Amino acid sequence: MTKGTLSRRGLLKAGAVTGAGLALPTIFTSPAAAFTNEPTGDSVTLGFNVPQSGPYADEGADQLRALELVAEHLNGGGDGGMMQTFSSQTLEGNGIMGKRVEFVTGDTATNTDRARASARSMIEKDGAVMITGGSSSGPAVAVQALCQDAGVIFMAGLTHANDTTGKDRRANGFRHFFNSYMSGAALAPILADQYGTDRKAYYLTADYNWGYTTEQAVQEATESKGWETVEKVLTPVGAGDFSSYITPVLQSGADTLVLVHYGGDMVNSLTNAVQFGLREAQANGRDFQIVVPLYSELMARGAGPNIKGIIGSQNWDWKLENQLGAKYTGTNAFVRSFGEKYGFPPSQAAHTVYCQVMLYADAVNRAGSFNPCAVVEALEGFEFDGLGNGPTLYRADDHQCFKDVVVVRGKENPENEFDLVEIIEVTPVEQVTYPHDHPQFAGGELGACNAGA
């Protein structure tokens, strides 16, 4: 009788032979993927990574509605939306390159770690070939870097900080939404025109990256028009009650308050400012004014009547085509599709992600490949129209879209809960265009595209 023993060397040999045996079929049968998550079947999977929980969950929900709508349109459902008005006519309602569009959703929770984990899961487990969505710059920058490393395309959602296409730009990332610099450049001439060129401004700024870049952009732009900056105060995110930051404003000698806040903070700080009588106050012999550089329809709804008369900027507005004509064609087509499906007009957050998916789909069709590097090439320097913003350029140098910027004011007598802002002017793209190496965007390099695999 012999006693069976297994030596270390024997175990290694057995393991190697077994491993080779198991791997053999795939070595000979699977073609090596040319890039990450190359679609091989009759469908392609896109990753919709939006905030479904956390403070921007409502904005995320609106993005998700638009993303479901664009997938439906790409697959030939509904009325086609902006596919009918898009200047590039490669999309025919048969998916992308003939492959049916499927999607998976994730929750960024407006948290950098959660957003990355969710995007990673969509790429690694679900095989997403492109990630889009999001409502904040922190998660956008993080997910963009992840997509760059993973070798998939990132079509950013609502992200306004300069850094997304500035110091943190990546070759695999593209931004349709406008940025802090553009807000400053669009607002400054209108603010000077409406309120004068010798205003004294007081800034309350959210203490994180988006706050810093927006404060800098608005400050530089308004100072170039003759404004003076009296004070800049950083406020903690989620401060709740901003009264202790608001009350020193009137005693500072300032006659204008710039609220560089977004989301709930904007709603609360603006509400507090109105409660403390800043809207009715007089300073330096004139009416005190409040400016909110970045507007959002959902925030305007949260602020209620306090938003009346407050000037800010937007990437897009659902009334653009009706009020300013055919230059903004696509707007009504999108509003009709969205409105008939959901019963209310879309937000700019919904619009930007809808455009991003359509732009991605078109780029793939034009490139004839899902390879991220081919998509990058197709999108770089791409000029298009018919997506609601007028003629637009996806600049090759930084992957930022250049288009007109909408300047709005809180409406005095809204007719319904969606009619909260009025368009006071559209700043032409020439006025908001900057060199890609502008100091506010310095320190970043696109690098080379990464196809992964």
Stretch that binds another protein, among 63-71, 97-105, 235-243, 376-384 (CB under 8 A): 235-243
- Measure the CA–CA gap between 439 and 83, rounded to whole angstroms: 37
Judged by CB, which is closer to another protein: 232, or 366? 232
Residues in a beta bridge with 131: 47, 154
DSSP category for residue 165: G
**Under rule CB under 8 A, which residues in 294-333 are in contact with another protein?**
298-299, 301-306, 318-319
Q: Are 371 and 451 in contact (CB under 8 A)?
A: yes
Q: Are 317 and 441 in contact (CB under 8 A)?
A: no
**Under rule CB under 8 A, which residues in 207-226 are in contact with another protein?**
207
Stretch that binds another protein, among 75-83, 239-247, 354-362, 403-411 (CB under 8 A): 239-247
Stretch that binds another protein, among 6-14, 34-42, 75-83, 249-257 (CB under 8 A): 249-257
Beta carbon of residue 353, minimum distance to another protein (angstroms, whole number):
17
Judged by CB, which is closer to another protein: 280, or 430? 280
Who contacts 443 (Cβ-Cβ below 8 Å, separation ≥6)? 166, 167
User: Half-sphere exposure of residue 391, counting CA atoms within 13 Å on the CB side?
Assistant: 5
Judged by CB, which is closer to another protein: 117, or 281? 281
Beta carbon of residue 102, minimum distance to another protein (angstroms, whole number):
27
Q: Are 84 and 27 in contact (CB under 8 A)?
A: no
- Measure the CA–CA gap between 341 and 330, rounded to whole angstroms: 17
The one among 43, 90, 112, 243 contacting another protein by CB under 8 A:
243
Task: Tally Cβ neighbours within 10 Å of residue 169.
Answer: 26
SS3 content of the chain, % helix, strand, coil (to 5): 40, 20, 40
**Under rule CB under 8 A, which residues in 256-295 are in contact with another protein?**
264, 267-268, 271-272, 275-277, 281-282
* 92 lies in the site for another protein, by CB under 8 A: no
Torsion of CA 327, 315, 177, 67, to 10 degrees: -80
Q: Are 127 and 46 in contact (CB under 8 A)?
A: no
The one among 251, 285, 412, 435 contacting another protein by CB under 8 A:
251
**Under rule CB under 8 A, which residues in 417-446 are in contact with another protein?**
418-419
Task: Tally Cβ neighbours within 10 Å of residue 5.
Answer: 6
The three-class DSSP label of residue 49 is: strand
* Beta strand ranges found along 348-430 (DSSP E): 382-384, 392-394, 401-402, 405-410, 421-427
Judged by CB, which is closer to another protein: 277, or 325? 277
Beta carbon of residue 49, minimum distance to another protein (angstroms, whole number):
17
Q: Are 403 and 390 in contact (CB under 8 A)?
A: yes
Judged by CB, which is closer to another protein: 305, or 381? 305
Task: Give the x-and-dash track for 54-83 against another protein (CB under 8 A).
Answer: xxxxx--x----------------------
**Under rule CB under 8 A, which residues in 5-64 are in contact with another protein?**
53-58, 61
Question: Binding residues for another protein, how many (CB under 8 A)?
Answer: 53
- Measure the CA–CA gap between 76 and 79, rounded to whole angstroms: 8
Task: Give the x-and-dash track for 104-133 against another protein (CB under 8 A).
Answer: ------------------------------
Judged by CB, which is closer to another protein: 58, or 168? 58
Sites of contact with another protein (CB under 8 A): 53-58, 61, 207, 231, 233-236, 238, 240-241, 243-245, 247-248, 250-252, 264, 267-268, 271-272, 275-277, 281-282, 298-299, 301-306, 318-319, 335-336, 339-340, 345, 415-416, 418-419
